[in-house]
Structure 1
Amino acid sequence: MMRDLITAFSTDTRDRMTSAGWRKRTGDIYTHDLGDGFHAWVGLNRASKHHPLKINPVVGLRYDPLERLLADIAGAASLTSATIARPVGHLTPGNSLLQLRVAEPGDAERATDELCELVQAYGLPFARQHASTDALLTALRAGGNVPNPDRTRILLPALHFLRGDTNEARSDLAHGLAHYGQNTSMPVVAEYHRFANALTTRLSA
């Protein structure tokens, strides 16, 4: 039964989103090109363990040059993750968790309609509002737009590097290194040190 609900919702969503100009990515992720390397981003987090199927839409913005830089430094493939993102319910006047529910396959169309309305009313405006390096930098500094603060400490100096803000990038790296300390036996500390060394090399080039 749950598999039927997932299939019905996923099929309806793919058809509606792609017809509206969104690109289907791996998993339940969609992106929409805004130009200059910026992409509106929608991720659909599913709760499918218990009936009914629940979907928590997350909307955001992806900045390709920044994500490619981080992937290159890490020596990994660039994933389709968002650079900044918020649960769409937190952007609505209610500012609370919002879940779409699919109790039977016939509910999928209604849930997809609601999703598309939310994306149009809140997702796209959020992405467009931040689709410049100035606005993205402000959003990163403000907090609340990146769930993992460890990622924010990587995003900020990397974005400064792309903007040519060398002094700001070095300053952010220094703050990050001071925050994590020198105990590189801890994976998160070792990862930040590797990132800082790699970005410092690029800053010095």
Structure 2
Amino acid sequence: MTECNAQFKKTIRLKMYDAFEAAGFTRFRKEGVDWPLHDGFHAWVGLNTALYPDRVDITPNVGVHVVQIEKLCEFKGGKYPYKYDRRVATYAINIGTLDAVGDERAFAFGPQQSDAFIDAECKRLAHIYATAGLDYARSIASYEALLPLLQEYVDTLGGYPERVASCLYLMGRKREAREFVTDFLARHRDYFEGFAVPFLAKLDEEDLVQT
């Protein structure tokens, strides 16, 4: 019997990504898929994978990756630099919290399961993403829809303040972006300075060009 180890975990993940690719998702890395929507918005897929002595559990997350927002976050340097990565979510939730998915059973894989069962489970998850997952991603695939979701978590840090500022900027609300960044910098200088200083300098430069 196959052992439940790191290699088994990797095998399950690769089978998952194979199923997503077969369902029409774009496979941009060996272990990375998404679904381009429009104007730099991508439906994001996150498969948190936990290895236990007897099984591998998959916790599926869904959301959006917004290229323009994540590229602006690259302004961040200093102590906490940021590098663009297509695998990173701009915003995401556990797909199991969606009403359309609530009754689905959890995804758990063990060495005793047949290849046919594992393949069927991978296809089941890919189908959930291709239906309910894409519906959710499309529902938040605009700056207007995304902004309040990002704002809700801004005090947790973790990239949310940078994304709020970038979202405001991309919506053309540069004055609000400046006010937000200035205020947040005053309260969280150690965390935020690496982003705030170059971002405010960018706004200053654009203001000079316009005058």
Which TM-score applies when normalising by structure 2? Answer: 0.80
Q: Distance in 1 between matches of 2:99 and 2:110?
A: 24
Query: 1:100 is matched by which residue type in structure 2?
Result: F
The answer as to 2:21 corresponding to 1:38 is no
Unaligned runs of 5+ in 1: 181-188
Q: Judge which range, 102-111 or 29-38, deviates more.
A: 102-111
CA contact (8 A) 1:87 1:97 kept: no
Task: Give the structure 1 partner of residue 208 of structure 2.
Answer: none
Task: Give the structure 2 partner of residue 58 of structure 1.
Answer: 61
Q: Distance in 1 between matches of 2:97 and 2:65?
A: 19
* Count of matched residue positions in the alignment of Structure 1 and Structure 2: 195
Superposed CA deviations along residues 72-122 of structure 1, whole A, max 9, x for unmatched, are 443653112010000111223676997411113523213212212321332
Task: Give the structure 2 partner of residue 169 of structure 1.
Answer: 177
CA contact (8 A) 1:44 1:55 kept: yes
Closer/same/farther in 2, CA of residues 99 and 71 from structure 1, 3 Å limit: farther
Closer/same/farther in 2, CA of residues 94 and 40 from structure 1, 3 Å limit: closer
Query: 2:46 is matched by which residue type in structure 1?
Result: G
CA contact (8 A) 2:48 2:61 kept: yes
Q: Distance in 2 between matches of 1:97 and 1:197?
A: 46
Unaligned runs of 5+ in 2: 206-211
Query: 1:87 is matched by which residue type in structure 2?
Result: N
Post-superposition offset of 1:65: 0.8
Task: Give the structure 2 partner of residue 21 of structure 1.
Answer: 24
CA contact (8 A) 1:58 1:86 kept: yes
Q: Distance in 1 between matches of 2:27 and 2:62?
A: 14
Q: Distance in 1 between matches of 2:119 and 2:155?
A: 30
Superposed CA deviations along residues 27-82 of structure 1, whole A, max 9, x for unmatched, are 74321110200000101111113221111011110000110111244365311201
Query: 1:152 is matched by which residue type in structure 2?
Result: Y
Query: 1:58 is matched by which residue type in structure 2?
Result: N
Q: Distance in 2 between matches of 1:108 and 1:147?
A: 40
Task: Give the structure 1 partner of residue 209 of structure 2.
Answer: none
Which TM-score applies when normalising by structure 1? Answer: 0.82
CA contact (8 A) 2:14 2:31 kept: no
Other structure's SS at 1:24 match: strand
From 156, 165, 178, give the equivalent of 2:186. 178
For the aligned residue pairs, the C-alpha RMSD in angstroms reads 2.7
Q: Judge which range, 90-99 or 67-76, deviates more.
A: 90-99
Query: 2:144 is matched by which residue type in structure 1?
Result: D
Rg: which structure is higher? 2
Q: Distance in 2 between matches of 1:94 and 1:129?
A: 16
Q: Distance in 2 between matches of 1:90 and 1:9?
A: 23
